[in-house]
């Protein structure tokens, strides 16, 4: 006997095969064909199976947040399985589209919303679904995923480019086509084919800043890239944009520089200038500007516009008219980041009496990790400094109009204002002069100052002679690495009005470019062994200067020197010492000087190791305090208990199914 289920024709049980007849078999098949096959949940979820009652029927688009899509009709079930308009409007996916503009502070808007509508309310034409293009999804994801990461939100599952979007060979459409056409019309008269960049002289939110940096790197991918060096207390990316003719790689003998802005959150001009600088470098390189071509082809530039994005938000919430002198200065832990670095200057002063003490590469004392609350922003920048062979650096501040250079801590603790030079005083003065002289008013005696008197000094000053403080970033750069950092005080107003942004850009553009060019000064070269292999960590010493620098990973080095005659020596553990007499004429900016060292029996350097605690330079965060702080708390049953991000409240209070797919990890 044959049993044929009227609702599930694929179950046919044969009880007696001898009783089969052609007539009964045909009857069974006819019954199966007359009853529709059920859709599996997986098929319904991706819109590949519909019952007769659900045959695609185009209906008018009536969803409020999808009214501006480039089509007028949609259908349900949609691509991800919502069976009706009401079903969609009660879901977390549609709720996300309604609040995404606020969550991302306007970044990637309306791109994300239009892309989401193309999946949740897909285009319907001739009673069939038209799927959006995979290429459209990938383009938006590349430009916008960092904005989700900045608020600790995962990329939405329904914007999975591989699952819900198709290629052009399958007849896809671009849901952003009309948006792009409008943008092209708006910029047709001023974009010059996309080569020029329009600088918006307004303040940018953190999300807008991230977007500009990402888009700039996407516009010039052959010379730039972005990367994060860490996160702020509140989880915002410390995003860097890099420029080089070989981005992402260190080129042999190519010096590296860094520019840092917004260390104090309420000192905002430097942040804006560095955003403009990144855009300018990209567009001018594409235009063929010879100065910019030369800078980028010979130098690796790293730009961190905001070291304190949390503090900036506090300052920006008040605005320039109401911002006090200190509102937003500190980070979210109320720590002044320019007092949060290890105080290596005191170690330098205390150990000057040692005959063979050198001031370069002083290790971070363990007491710093034990006794200090180390801000995550400070930690990230310290690791950054240790990871790249930076030669020079500038930190952009506000509140005065002057260039300050190390040391920032007075050599006499009781003296608040005392001239306290480094062994490289003349080098620092030259770096400071380079910026100040290229600025139209900084070194001018007639320029109105902010209270201090720097006009007679040409707009530059020794930091400790201005005012003394410990734990500064510039002193740390000099004493812990090869990097020479100056502090650029851009003006009296820490938070100038937007009307001042364009004039300030004009005043500082050439000074920034001149400073970057000044890295090509002194000597550079490669320290090799007899087989031509570069020697990492070899020490470069100059007679008469108690400050050494070391070679990078491949044995290359850069030593800033002023014109004159210098005796340069190179030493490395396990190798013989070598010295050369170098003449640097004024008409030659940089000279190449290579060294070849011979292998010798390895012996410890008594001059070095007789000084306590100077053999632990490689030890960084020895107690793993940042790793410990990042460990997740476990509940009673061993499950992870993690604090939900701030935006979770948008969804949890409405009684809808919790969108755990938006949580990272």
- The catalytic residues are 489
> Rounded CA gap, 472 and 658, in Å?
46
Sequence-ordered list of residues with C-beta below 8 angstroms from that of 168, at least 6 positions apart, any chain: 133, 135
Residue with tokens 């308009």: 85
Count of Cβ atoms closer than 10 Å to residue 596 Cβ: 16
Strands 633-634 and 640-641: antiparallel
Sequence-ordered list of residues with C-beta below 8 angstroms from that of 244, at least 6 positions apart, any chain: 223, 224, 251, 254, 296, 299, 300, 301
Strand partners, 595: 527
Tokens of 515: 């400073």
**Residue 653, exposed/middle/buried by CB under 10 A (0-12, 13-18, 19+)?**
exposed
List, as one string, the DSSP characters of 432-456: HHHHHHHSTTTT-TTS--SSS--GG
- Output DSSP code: residue 644: P
SS3 content of the chain, % helix, strand, coil (to 5): 35, 20, 45
- Would the CA dihedral through 210, 213, 215, 218 be positive or negative? negative
How far from chain centre, in Å, is Cα 414? 40
**For every residue of 499-566, which 3-state class applies, written as one string?**
HHHHHHHHHHHHHHHHHHHCCCCEEEEEEEECCCCECCCCEEEECCEEEEEECCCCCEEEECCCCEEE
Phi, psi (deg, nearest 5) at residue 166 = -130, 165
Do the Cβ atoms of 439 and 511 come closer than 8 Å? yes
Phi, psi (deg, nearest 5) at residue 48 = -105, 0
User: Over the range 204-224, which residues count as b (16 or more CB within 10 Å of their CB) and which as e?
Assistant: bbbbbbbbbbbbbbebbeebb
How far from chain centre, in Å, is Cα 518? 25
Question: Within the chain, what is the greatest distance between any pair of CA atoms?
Answer: 115
List, as one string, the DSSP characters of 376-425: HHHHHHHHHHHHS-EEEEEEEE-SEEEEEES--S-SSTT-SS-----TTH
Count of Cβ atoms closer than 10 Å to residue 295 Cβ: 21
Tokens of 271: 């942040």
List, as one string, the DSSP characters of 574-617: TB--EEEEEEE-TT-SEEE--EEE-B------HHHHTSTT-S-T
What is each CA distance from 229 to 109, 276, 462, 589, in whole angstroms? 26, 21, 30, 32
> Rounded CA gap, 396 and 136, in Å?
38
């Amino acid at each position: 006997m044959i049993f044929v289920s009227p609702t599930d024709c694929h179950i046919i049980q044969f009880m007696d095969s001898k009783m089969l007849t052609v007539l009964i078999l045909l009857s069974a098949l006819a019954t199966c064909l007359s009853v529709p096959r059920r859709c599996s949940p997986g098929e319904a979820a991706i819109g590949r199976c519909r019952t007769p009652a659900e045959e695609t029927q185009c209906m008018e688009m009536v969803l409020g947040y999808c009214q501006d899509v480039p089509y007028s009709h949609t259908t349900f079930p949609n691509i991800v399985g919502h069976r009706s308009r009401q079903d969609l409007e009660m879901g977390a996916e549609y709720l996300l589209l309604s609040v995404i503009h606020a969550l991302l502070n306007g970044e990637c808007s309306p791109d994300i919303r239009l892309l989401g509508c193309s999946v949740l309310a897909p285009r319907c034409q001739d009673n069939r679904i038209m799927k959006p293009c995979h290429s459209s999804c990938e383009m938006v994801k590349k430009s916008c995923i960092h904005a989700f990461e900045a608020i600790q939100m995962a990329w939405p599952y329904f914007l999975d480019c591989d699952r819900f979007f198709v290629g052009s060979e399958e007849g896809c459409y671009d849901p952003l086509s009309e948006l792009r056409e409008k943008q092209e019309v708006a910029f047709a008269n001023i974009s010059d084919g996309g080569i020029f960049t329009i600088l918006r002289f307004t303040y940018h939110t953190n999300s807008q800043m991230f977007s500009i940096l990402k888009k700039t790197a996407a516009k010039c991918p052959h010379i730039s890239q972005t990367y994060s060096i860490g996160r702020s207390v509140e989880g915002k990316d410390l995003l860097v944009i890099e420029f080089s003719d070989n981005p992402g790689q260190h080129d042999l003998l190519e010096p590296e520089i860094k520019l840092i802005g917004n260390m104090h959150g309420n000192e905002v001009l430097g942040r804006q200038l560095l955003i403009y600088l990144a855009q300018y470098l990209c567009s001018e390189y594409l235009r063929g500007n010879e100065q910019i071509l030369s800078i980028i082809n010979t130098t690796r530039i790293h730009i961190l516009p905001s070291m304190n994005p949390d503090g900036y938000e506090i300052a920006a919430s008040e605005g320039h008219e109401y911002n006090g002198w200190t509102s937003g200065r500190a980070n979210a832990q109320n720590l002044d980041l320019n007092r949060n670095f290890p105080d290596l200057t005191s170690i330098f002063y205390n150990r000057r009496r040692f005959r063979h003490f050198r001031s370069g590469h002083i290790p971070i004392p363990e007491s710093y990790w034990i006794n200090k609350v180390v801000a995550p922003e400070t930690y990230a920048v310290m690791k950054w400094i240790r990871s790249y062979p930076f030669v020079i650096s500038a930190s952009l501040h506000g509140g005065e109009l002057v260039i300050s250079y190390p040391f920032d801590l007075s050599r006499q603790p009781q003296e608040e204002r005392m001239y306290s030079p480094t062994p490289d005083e003349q080098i620092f003065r030259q770096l400071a002069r380079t910026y100040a002289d290229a600025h139209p008013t900084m070194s001018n005696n007639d320029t109105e100052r902010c209270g201090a008197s720097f006009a007679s000094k040409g707009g530059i000053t020794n930091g400790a002679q201005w005012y003394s403080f410990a734990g500064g970033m510039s002193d740390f750069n000099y004493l812990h690495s090869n990097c020479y950092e100056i502090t650029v005080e851009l003006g009296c107003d820490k938070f100038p009005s937007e009307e001042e942004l364009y004039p300030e850009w004009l005043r500082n553009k050439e000074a920034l470019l001149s400073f970057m060019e000044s890295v090509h000064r002194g000597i550079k070269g490669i320290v090799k062994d007899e087989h031509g292999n570069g020697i990492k960590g070899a020490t470069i010493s100059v007679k008469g200067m108690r400050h050494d620098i070391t070679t990078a990973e491949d044995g290359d080095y850069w030593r800033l020197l002023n014109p004159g005659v210098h005796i340069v020596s190179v030493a490395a553990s396990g190798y013989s010492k070598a010295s050369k007499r170098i003449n640097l004429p004024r008409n030659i900016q940089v000279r190449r000087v290579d060294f070849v060292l011979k292998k010798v029996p390895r012996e410890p350097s008594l001059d070095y190791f007789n000084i306590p605690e100077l053999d632990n330079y490689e030890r960084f965060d020895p107690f793993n305090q940042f790793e410990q702080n990042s460990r997740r708390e476990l509940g009673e049953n061993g499950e992870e208990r993690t604090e939900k991000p701030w935006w979770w409240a948008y969804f949890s209070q409405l009684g809808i199914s919790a969108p755990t797919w938006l949580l990272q990890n």
